[in-house]
Amino acid sequence: MASTAVGSRRSRYGLRAVGLVYVGAIVLIPLYVITYRTVADGWSTFWAAISSDEAVTAFRLTGEVAVAAVVINTVFGVGVALLLSRYSFRGRRVLSALADLPISVSPIVVGLALVLVYGPATGWFGKHLSFQIIYALPGMVLATAFVSLPLMLRELVPVLEEAGDDMEQAARVLGASARQRFVRITLPTIRPALMYGLVLTFARSIGEFGAIRVVSGNIQGSGQTQTTTLLIEDKYQNFEPGTYQLAMVLVLATILAIVLTSFRRSKEDVS
Amino acid sequence: MTLAAPPLAVSTADRAESPSGARLGRVSGLGLGTAVIWLSLLVLIPLAAVVAKAFGGGWSGFWHAVTRHQAVQALELTVGSSLIVSLINAVMGTLLAWVLVRDSFPGKRLVEMVIDLPFALPTIVAGLVLLAVYGNGSPIHLDLYATQRGVAFALLFVTLPFVVRAVQPVLMALDTEAELAAACLGAGPVTVFRRIVLPLLLPAIVSGAGLGFARAMGEYGTVLLLSGGLAKAQVSSQYVYGQIQNYDYVGAAATATVLLFISLAVLVGLDLLQRRAARRG
Amino acid sequence: MSIETRGIVKRFGNFVALDNVDLTVESGRLTALLGPSGGGKSTLLRIIGGLETADEGSVRIAGVESTSIPAQKRNVGFVFQHYAAFKHLSVYRNVAFGLEIRKRPKAEIKARVDELLELVHLEQFADRLPAQLSGGQRQRMALARALAVEPSVLLLDEPFGALDAKVRRELRDWLRRLHDDVHVTTVFVTHDQEEALEVSDEIVVINHGKIEQVGTPSDLYDKPANDFVMEFLGPVTTLGGRLVRPHDLEIFPHHVDNGIEAEVLRLQRIGFEVRVELRAGADEPWAQLTRGQAEALELAAGSRVWVRPLD
């Protein structure tokens, strides 16, 4: 791997140094500083910050919203991935492009879009509904599902395309029904990708900030719509203690997600 | 050569792309219907609502809203810093991909993981992290708080992996024999890279930089804290949020529409580029 | 169990893959569908198996009208070119799959799978994953898997296409012997005329979505219905404006009745055979002789000879 036609040993060390310094300045130093600030305040401060009522409520709310978004996007992702990889129909490309679009939309625009349609009183659909979507849990789930929509799909489609439909066809001639084929053949084939998709979608969901900020109304106390990210921002703006500690929880969750999904990459390296 | 074909139109190539593609049956047809309805409710109709709101007062209303001083200022900053960031990413991302693929050193796997962190980190946490180092009272005496450079730096942070991840697989699949052959013909390392490697990497670099650009255009959380919310260091997403807070939905939707169309144009452009690269083989 | 198709038409867009195909495969036979790629033979096999639906026409399997029976209820065995091994299941579970779907008792499944693994010589690999088998072994597993459900017919789509030449030859002989033992009506698709000639009881030549000829291997070789079949089944050369087999050319050092005068251009020895390249008027035919024949004729470049097709 290290052998290459281009570059002497000296230029290789040079490139390596530049690359590492860049990564260090952009990622590692900031990460070190925030870890330091969290730890510097001591373990008891950390514990107090993450076990306060508002923190626990925020964690629970974040979890609920994320789980709902993960479930929705898994059902949608598996279904659409199967459609895109196993069927040919008019508009296949358009569906694929549309499902990929949310990645490139500003979260604030996502929030605005949902408010315009589902907002109470003025929204296209919202004004006809008897229950509240925006400034309540359903809107937060919609916003989160929107921003994390393509992640599952992006994991599944390449795996399904690479596996081809030979196995499913073989199972079919052996007498397996559509349901049996899905459970016994397709599901085991996509299981690793499905797991990675779940982790990525969940990680993205607990971290959503902008879209949630627009649709949640950022309500504290009873009927709280303040998720962990909103609480972090709130505490920071009000100079309240606990900002770094709460942020650290999300940093650790992100690192865990990256470690879990890094196995995917190392497996690719081997093959 | 002209590319007259409409970008996202359904082409006859559809069927060729999935050779085993079966026709839709009852269950799969129902599934497609459900997916389309859900996608419409979640994505299409809301985005259409943004555009409709923006043009609710006709073209002049839209134009009036997007040409407000603050809107223009924010848009200039967003587009400008996104462009600069994409250029830096194109260079540094390629360099990092090169180091990760062709070099080997202890801790390489760790660097691999660290690269993903900025993208995966919740944006507000990323903002907080950057502020801790490059904000007021910076421990390394580099205060970027409320500056346009600070905005660019935040964008650089979140878009770090895009070019790296786009270039890496291409570089891995690259046959080093061509490089060796060029070297044997007397080409120096720089010439080999410029004449042999770079042309092959270029589509991936452009595609990674383009996706990073689209992401940077829409970034909000990471920029929020470092920009301090001051008008001169405010990106378009922040401006849109401000208009929403003021119940100026037309103003918010107008800038949002511009953002949407820029992302769409980038995606369509990249798609065309990819198809052209694929056609060349 | 016989197979009958009547008036099968299949189109992919504007492309007509099968054009009104009538085919009858008698019970217990080993039949090859032979033809160039893109000629429609795989499509026909997939329609028989129910993996593809015909636009028009009907399929009867073992006398039962099967056109609208879905693949999972047709009880056919199907072997795919690229094995279609269930990658996440052991060899044993692969072979047992169809029986498990049919909810047969465990003991019965075990007995049947063991018997089949023995038949395909994979008994010691029962616990392995397909990834740990060679290509030939995977294809034998696929065959055992297809046979496990006691299918009424066995359909093989280019079964040896992905294997290298040596393994291909071994499996070919083995399939022939297996068929002699098991006697299930078998149809296999191939584009390799040697494979078809060697293995099958009957060959169906398909080109451009139509059946060109049906017959035993020797029928087809010796009495091809048209130039296409003649060319596809073996080497051909042109003499006096018509197609002949090079080994059916007689060469004389002197004038003979119906003989055409020719000049030897070049002699080429390939193992035991000698290729004689000739010029006869506007044609440049070549003849295939044994080494002995060539030596007896004392042929050399520039020799004047008379050529005549064997009757």
- Say what the ipTM of the complex is: 0.88
- C88·A180 Cβ contact <8 A: no
Using CA atoms, how far apart are residues C298 and C311, in angstroms rounded to an integer?
A: 24
CB contact under 8 A, B121 and A251: yes
Say how many Å lie between the first and final Cα of chain C, rounded.
39
Contacts of C13 in chain B (CB under 8 A): 12, 15
Supply φ then ψ for residue C9, to 5 degrees: -125, 135
* Chain B residues within an 8 Å CB radius of A12: 102-103
Q: C13 exposed, middle or buried (CB, 10 Å; 0-12, 13-18, 19+)?
A: exposed
> So what's the pLDDT on residue B281?
58
> CA nearest C49 in A: which residue?
A173
Q: Band of the pLDDT at B14, cuts 50, 70, 90?
A: very low
Q: CA C292, C298, C304, C306 torsion: positive or negative? A: negative
The two three-digit tokens of residue B250, written as one number? 């037309």
Q: Is residue B13 scored above 60 in pLDDT? A: no
Burial class (CB in 10 A: 0-12, 13-18, 19+), B12: exposed
The terminus-to-terminus CA distance of chain A in angstroms comes to 14
Nearest 5 degrees, angle CA A15-CA A19-CA A24?
150
Chain center to CA of C55: 26
User: Considering only CB atoms, which chain B residues are within 8 Å of C12?
Assistant: 15
| Contact residues, chain A, for C76 at CB < 8 Å | 173
Nearest C-alpha in C relative to B19: C12
Helices (H) and strands (E) in chain C, counts: 9, 17
What is the nearest CA distance from C232 to chain A, expressed in angstroms?
30
Least confident stretch, A234-238, B8-12, C193-197, C219-223? B8-12
**What tens digit of pLDDT does each residue of C259-287 get?**
888 999 998 888 888 899 999 888 888 98
Q: What chains are in contact with B, requiring at least 3 Cβ pairs below 8 Å?
A: A, C
Strongest mean pLDDT among B190-204, B264-278, C140-154, C226-240 = C140-154
Check if B116 contacts A (Cβ < 8 Å).
yes
- Chain C residues touching B27 at Cβ < 8 A: none
Give the mean model confidence (pLDDT) for residues A66-76. 96
Which one has a higher pLDDT value, B20 or A252?
Answer: A252
Interface size, chain A vs chain C, as Cβ–Cβ contacts under 8 Å: 60
Measured between beta carbons, the chain A residues lying within 8 angstroms of B157 are 26-27, 30
What is the tens place of the pLDDT at every residue in C290-299?
888 888 888 8
CA distances from B180 to B44, B112, C249 (A): 51, 27, 54
- How would DSSP label each residue in C37-88? TTSSHHHHHHHHHTSS--SEEEEEETTEE-TTS-GGGS-EEEE-TT----TT
Over the stretch C84-113, which tens digit does the pLDDT of each residue have?
999 999 999 999 999 999 999 999 999 999
User: Closest chain C residue to A167 measured between Cα atoms?
Assistant: C84
B116 by Cβ neighbours in 10 Å (0-12 / 13-18 / 19+) ranks as: buried
User: pTM for this structure?
Assistant: 0.85
The answer to whether A180 faces chain C, any CB pair under 8 Å, is yes
Q: Which subunits count as partners of chain A given 3+ CB pairs below 8 Å? A: B, C
Could you tell me which chain C residue has the CA closest to the CA of B13?
C13
C-alpha R_g of chain B: 22
CB contact under 8 A, C51 and A174: no
- The pair of three-digit structure tokens given for residue C241, joined into one six-digit string: 């404006």
Q: Is the CB of A29 less than 8 angstroms away from the CB of B140?
A: yes
Greatest alpha-carbon span in chain A:
71
